[in-house]
């Protein structure tokens, strides 16, 4: 029997019970829709995270004060720091694969300019910071080693903070009071957008780390040290050397935990993707359960259909249909049902992701692969769950099928 005729017969049989066909396909529609939406959202999130990781700068290693256990629970973070300016200098001096180092402090503080108040992130950084993060200035010049040595009261302002404090006016040369200490703005940063964790990276005020330590926070230790390796290939070596150097400097006995945490860029990326992976996994589980339930629905309806159409099967066999023809006829029907369900599901999934991106401003990326895979998968569900009923139909005896009431 020709495939076009088989297909036509299948479509006609499905049309005959429109409502039933639609309800049966619903499981597949929902399953495939969930898969497509899930992959779209997951891919979008991944692309965004990747872009953010890249915006962190290249070959960056972060060293945090305090230790962090493998499970991610950290102890002593931001408390009494263990990293010192001398540590940072030793790293710069003694590890050859390191191209730039910036000691870091971080705090949120009330900032006033004229009668405007705002609460940006205050970062204490070294002059290398802007190179490491590949963060160009729009206006002005960065602070220098001289500013660092003198703990000068100069600051570089982020786009958002500048907007909040000065509106459209140029912030260069203006004075802001951080914790009542006056700082002069020397430069304006270009816009960097959201961070991996979703915060606005442009809502910052960056001062020399020495100024942050002495004039703002009154501390002698650092929150973290940002290190850039000269070469991606050297990253593991540099990371290893950093750890050894700091353990030695901090006089940590072998077998005892580090009092600092070294994080490569990949670790940060992993941390950020872990969350979206959990979400993807959950949605994936829902989708597969839905597809299986949809498949069982198809199997159920096909079994009912075989029983209802026993006489038809008998007639077809009586006029010369082989068992294989009957098998193919019912299998085609199941596959047609699940494939059409799959196609509708793909449309639904694309719609959902588009709607979601519009509502929560979360980018979605629908890949052609996911559409092709989802379609093939729905067809496969039809084959898998349609096979048993089709086989049952093909095993009927013509005489008994004809006698069936």
Partner 1 sequence: MNPVIKLDDLHKTYHTGEVEVLAVRGVSLEILPGEFVAVMGASGSGKSTLMNIVGCLDRPTSGRYFLDGTDVSELDTDELADIRNKKIGFVFQGFNLLSRTSALENVELPMLYRHDQHSARELREQATRALETVSLADRADHHPNQLSGGQQQRVAIARALVNQPALLLADEPTGNLDSRTSVEIMGVFQQLNEQGITIVMVTHETDIARFTKRNVVMSDGVVLTDTPVGDRLFAGPELERLQKTRGSAPQAAAS
Sites of contact with partner 1 (CB under 8 A): 1-2, 5, 16, 311-312, 314-325, 398-399, 402
By beta-carbon proximity to partner 1, the closer residue of 319 and 368 is: 319
Least gap, CB of 400 to partner 1 (angstroms): 10
Distance CA 133, CA 403 (A): 81
By beta-carbon proximity to partner 1, the closer residue of 153 and 309 is: 309
Least gap, CB of 20 to partner 1 (angstroms): 15
Least gap, CB of 22 to partner 1 (angstroms): 19
Least gap, CB of 337 to partner 1 (angstroms): 19
Give, as one character, the DSSP assignment of residue 214: I
Question: Is the CB of residue 128 less than 8 Å from the CB of residue 142?
Answer: no
Copy the structure tokens of residue 313. 């099967």
Question: Is the CB of residue 103 less than 8 Å from the CB of residue 124?
Answer: yes
Least gap, CB of 405 to partner 1 (angstroms): 11
By beta-carbon proximity to partner 1, the closer residue of 384 and 404 is: 404
Distance CA 255, CA 245 (A): 16
Length of the chain: 405
Question: Is the CB of residue 323 less than 8 Å from the CB of residue 8?
Answer: no
By beta-carbon proximity to partner 1, the closer residue of 4 and 180 is: 4
Distance CA 291, CA 339 (A): 12
Distance CA 392, CA 387 (A): 8
By beta-carbon proximity to partner 1, the closer residue of 197 and 399 is: 399
By beta-carbon proximity to partner 1, the closer residue of 2 and 256 is: 2
Least gap, CB of 331 to partner 1 (angstroms): 16
Distance CA 184, CA 173 (A): 6
């Amino acid at each position: 029997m020709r495939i076009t005729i088989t297909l036509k017969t299948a479509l006609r049989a499905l049309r005959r019970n429109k409502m039933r066909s639609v309800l049966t396909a619903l499981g597949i529609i929902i399953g495939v829709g969930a898969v497509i939406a899930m992959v779209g959202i997951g891919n979008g999130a991944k692309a965004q995270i990747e872009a953010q990781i890249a915006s962190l700068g290249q070959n960056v290693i972060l060293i945090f004060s305090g230790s962090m256990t493998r499970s991610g629970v950290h102890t002593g973070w931001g408390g009494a720091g263990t990293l010192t300016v001398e540590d940072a200098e030793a790293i710069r001096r003694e590890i050859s694969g390191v191209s730039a180092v910036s000691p870091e402090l971080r705090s949120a503080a009330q900032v006033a300019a004229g009668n405007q108040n705002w609460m940006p992130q205050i970062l204490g950084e070294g002059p290398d910071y802007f190179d490491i993060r590949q963060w160009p200035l729009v206006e002005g010049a960065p602070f220098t080693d001289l500013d660092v040595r003198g703990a000068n009261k100069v600051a570089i302002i982020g786009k958002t903070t500048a907007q909040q404090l000065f509106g459209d006016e140029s912030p260069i040369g203006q004075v802001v009071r951080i914790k009542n200490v006056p700082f002069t703005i020397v430069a304006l940063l270009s816009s960097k957008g959201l961070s991996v964790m979703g915060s606005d990276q442009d809502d910052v005020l960056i001062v020399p780390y020495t100024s942050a330590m002495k004039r703002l926070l009154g501390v002698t230790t650092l929150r973290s040290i940002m290190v850039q390796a000269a070469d991606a290939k050297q990253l593991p070596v540099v990371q290893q050397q950093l750890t050894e150097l700091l353990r030695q400097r901090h006089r940590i006995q072998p077998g005892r935990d580090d009092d600092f945490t070294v994080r490569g860029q990949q670790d940060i990326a992993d941390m950020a993707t872990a969350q979206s992976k959990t979400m993807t996994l959950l949605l994936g589980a829902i989708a597969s359960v839905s597809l299986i339930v949809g498949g069982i629905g198809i199997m159920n309806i096909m079994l009912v259909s075989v029983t209802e159409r026993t006489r038809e099967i008998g007639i077809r066999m009586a006029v010369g249909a082989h068992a294989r023809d009957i098998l193919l006829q019912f299998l085609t029907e199941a596959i047609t049902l699940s494939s059409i369900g799959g196609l509708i599901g793909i449309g639904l999934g694309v719609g959902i992701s588009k709607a979601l991106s519009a509502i929560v401003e979360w980018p979605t990326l629908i890949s052609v692969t996911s559409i092709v895979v989802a379609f093939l998968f729905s067809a496969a569900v039809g084959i898998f769950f349609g096979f048993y009923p089709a086989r049952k139909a093909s095993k009927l005896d013509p005489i008994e099928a004809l006698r069936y009431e």
